[in-house]
């Protein structure tokens, strides 16, 4: 005979609440020790599941984005370059250019911070719940040339198109 907690975990798994199923014993202990109301308990259970799913989505989107490295906008130093001002930087961070379907093309000499800015904006967009594809121009040309006969290029092309 299974315990009530194990039975609840199985029901959570059946409902595709895998993260809740894993954490359920701890949630039940916390509910008991802190005298949660039913409302508080349900709120904690659902918040845990939503948080875990959001974290997994961010991890998956980060993997799919294929960034060359991990650098955030907080690490971007506006003082090191003169091409973009603080006002433009703030506008880029708002991500309205994505909603308006504008293409962002970053051009400049090596070392100007183009890749760092692109990666930072991509990470910021992923944290905002958006899907991102980071592709250098050379890689994009290769993908476009080989997508008809190379399965890896076809998959990458589909991810780029789907992230729009």
Q: Taking a C-beta distance cutoff of 8 angstroms, is the pair 16, 22 a contact?
A: no
pLDDT exceeds cutoff 90 at 29: yes
Q: What is the mean pLDDT of residues 14-22?
A: 89
Cβ within 8 Å of residue 45, ≥6 positions away? 20, 24, 27
Q: pTM of the entire structure?
A: 0.75
- Domain boundaries defined on the chain: 4-65, 67-132, 135-164
Q: Quick one: pLDDT at residue 164?
A: 57
Q: pLDDT by residue (tens digit) across 93-113?
A: 999 998 898 878 888 888 888
CA distance 27 to 48: 9
Is 163 in a helix, a strand, or coil? Answer: coil
Q: What is the mean pLDDT of residues 20-29?
A: 92
- Which uninterrupted H or E stretch holds 12? helix 4-14
Is 129 in a helix, a strand, or coil? Answer: coil
Q: pLDDT by residue (tens digit) across 65-93?
A: 889 999 999 998 888 877 788 899 999 99
Is 93 in a helix, a strand, or coil? Answer: helix
Cβ within 8 Å of residue 79, ≥6 positions away? none
Q: pLDDT by residue (tens digit) across 131-156?
A: 888 888 889 899 999 999 999 889 88
């Amino acid at each position: 005979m299974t315990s009530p907690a194990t039975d609840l975990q199985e029901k959570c798994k059946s409902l595709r609440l895998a993260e809740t199923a894993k954490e359920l014993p701890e949630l039940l202990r916390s509910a008991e020790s802190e005298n949660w109301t039913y409302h508080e308990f349900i709120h904690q259970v659902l918040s845990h599941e939503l948080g875990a799913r959001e974290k997994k989505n961010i991890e998956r989107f980060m993997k799919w984005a294929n960034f060359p490295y991990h650098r955030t906008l907080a690490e971007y130093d506006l003082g090191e370059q003169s091409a973009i001002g603080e006002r433009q930087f703030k506008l880029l961070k708002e991500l309205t250019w994505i909603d308006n379907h504008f293409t962002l093309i970053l051009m400049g000499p090596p070392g100007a911070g183009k890749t760092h800015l692109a990666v930072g904006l991509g990470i910021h967009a992923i944290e905002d719940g958006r899907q991102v594809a980071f592709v250098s121009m050379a890689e994009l040309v290769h993908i476009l040339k080989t997508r008809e006969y190379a399965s890896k290029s076809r998959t990458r092309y589909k991810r780029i198109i789907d992230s729009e």
